Amino acid sequence: MTGHGGEDFLKFQDAEEVSNVELADAFEQMWQKRRYNELLFIIDTCQAVSMFSRFYSPNLMAIASSQIGEDSLSHHVDPAIGVYIIDRYTYHLLEFLERVKPGSSKTMDQLLKVCPPHHCISTPGFSTHLFARSTDRTLISDFFGSVRTVDLSDDVVRWTARNTSRGNSPEIDETSEKSNFASVDQFLTEIPTAEKSKHPMSETASLALLFVVVSLTIKTFCDFR
């Protein structure tokens, strides 16, 4: 997570904010509903360690870019748009992770040492007391090593309703059909022309409007003289 923040809160686009208590309760609900097995929480904001001070759910590891009372600073500015585009901790973390391959033997203990104070100009912090495994035995690829393969298809696959009472799996109709939908442009390339009105009064109205315009023009010319 990243954004403007302070002690015990993080803001979203200067409109909404979340507190460390709300965040801790959200993770607890996720744990009770079995939404995660192990969770790595990383936050880059001012006074970032305050955001995980209320965590109490199992198997949580948290990393923050700054201590309470410290600011989390930006890294560099884009001269084209005149604003900072990335924070210091995020920059060095990304630089480190780009060198980690799916089969790497690097551990979370090495990740926790990313961006020391002389690089971040703040003091990163972390919390591992809720995490069951040792950080020097937990591979970084356990959290960042996922590789998903996506196959694109324009075939139509027919699914039948799942029969949950008998535990049957969905049946797939192997006779796939090509989609009959026509391909259309995302944006209009031509402005459609309106058809001429077929109302019987349309020509009369046009002549009346022309007569009014001509009359006003003549009156203006006479007044000017």
Residue among 221, 196, 194 nearest 206 (CA): 196
- Which runs of consecutive H residues, i.e. helices, occur in the chain? 20-32, 88-97, 108-111, 117-120, 141-144, 202-224
Map residue 87 onto helix, strand or coil. Answer: strand
Domains, the chain, in order of start with CATH, read 5-144 (3.40.50.1460)
Least confident piece of the model among 29-38, 57-66, 104-113, 139-148: 139-148
Quickly list DSSP for 9-20. EEEETTTEEEEH
Which residues have a catalytic role annotated?
4, 46
Q: What is the mean pLDDT of residues 158-170?
A: 60
- 103-157 pLDDT, tens digit per residue, is 889 999 999 999 999 999 999 999 999 999 999 999 999 998 777 777 888 888 7
Quickly list DSSP for 153-199. --EEEEEPPP-TTTTPPPPEEEEEEE--PPP--SS-SSPPPPPPP--
Q: Is 57 left (phi over 0), alpha (psi -120 to 50) or beta?
A: beta
Across all residues in the chain, what is the average pLDDT?
81
- 173-201 pLDDT, tens digit per residue, is 544 444 454 554 544 445 444 444 445 55
Map residue 215 onto helix, strand or coil. Answer: helix
Q: Given a cut of 80, is residue 219 above it in pLDDT?
A: no
Placement of tokens 């109302």 in the chain: 199
The whole-angstrom separation of Cα 26 and Cα 64 is 18
